[in-house]
């Protein structure tokens, strides 16, 4: 840029600096809408209530034997998956579709073991 461009830019900004813009009470309205201390207190109480409910829920889960129910549900799902896999491996050679059962087994292990592991790892790094 040459000096003439610099002079034009400086004159433009000088004119803009002299200009006054009426806000018609905009600043006051914005300041009235800003959160006050009471809102922070309500937010803190909301977090405490959420924490209380979580602790109560976990306590009731253990008090009423939720671990046994969860364990039996996981075992049932595991049993169903193993039965389905056993049926598939027994009937795969008789189908017309050429499927390698070991490739499918590897894919199932990847989906059921590796992907949840990676997801849990990423979630723990974010939290």
Local confidence band at 1 (pLDDT 50, 70, 90 cut-offs):
low
91 and 104 Cβ atoms separated by less than 8 Å:
no
Name 67's Cβ contacts closer than 8 Å, sequence gap at least 6: 61
pLDDT digit string, tens, across residues 8-56: 888 888 877 777 777 888 888 888 887 777 777 888 899 999 999 999 9
């Amino acid at each position: 840029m040459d000096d003439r461009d610099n002079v034009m830019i400086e004159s433009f900004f000088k004119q803009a600096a002299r200009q006054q813009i009426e806000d018609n009470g905009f600043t006051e309205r914005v300041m009235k809408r800003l959160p006050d201390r009471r809102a922070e207190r309500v937010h803190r109480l909301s977090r405490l209530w959420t924490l209380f409910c979580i602790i109560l829920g976990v306590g009731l889960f253990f008090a009423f034997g939720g671990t046994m129910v969860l364990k039996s549900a996981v075992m049932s799902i595991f049993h169903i998956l193993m039965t389905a896999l056993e049926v598939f491996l027994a009937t795969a050679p008789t189908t017309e579709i050429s499927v390698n059962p070991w490739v499918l087994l590897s894919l199932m292990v990847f989906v059921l073991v590796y992907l949840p592991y990676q997801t849990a790892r990423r979630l723990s790094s974010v939290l």
